[in-house]
A = this chain, B = another copy of it.
Amino acid sequence: MTRTSANSPIEFFFEFASPYAYLAAQRIDDLAARHGREVLWKPLLLGAVFKETGGQPLTHVPLKGDYTLRDVPRCAREHGIPVKMPDPFPFAAIAACRAFYWLEREDPAKARALAKALYAKAFGEGGDISSAPRVVEVAEGLGIDGEKLKAGLQDPAIKEKLREVVATSVERKIFGAPFFFVDGEPFWGNDRLETIERWLESGGW
Contacts and interface: CB of A to CB of B under 8 A. Distances in A.
Interface stretch (A9-17, A56-64, A141-149): A56-64
A77 B55 CA distance: 28
Nearest to A64: B175
Interface in A52-108: 53-55, 61-64, 66-67, 70-71, 74, 77-78
Contacts of A173: 63, 66-67
Interface in A22-57: 53-55
Interface stretch (A111-119, A125-133, A158-166, A184-192): A184-192
Contact of A67 (B74, B175, B198): B175
Nearest to A173: B63
A61 B67 contact: no
A61 B175 contact: yes
Given A70-B186, A192-B191, A205-B77, A175 B54 contact: no
Interface in A155-199: 170, 173-176, 186, 188-189, 191-192, 194-195, 198
A77 B78 CA distance: 27
Nearest to A80: B205
A189 B188 contact: no
14 contacts: A53-B63, A55-B61, A55-B62, A62-B175, A63-B170, A63-B173, A64-B175, A64-B176, A67-B188, A77-B205, A78-B195, A78-B205, A189-B191, A191-B195
Q: Which 9 A-B pairs have the closest CB atoms?
A: A63-B175, A191-B191, A53-B62, A63-B173, A64-B175, A77-B205, A53-B63, A54-B62, A78-B205
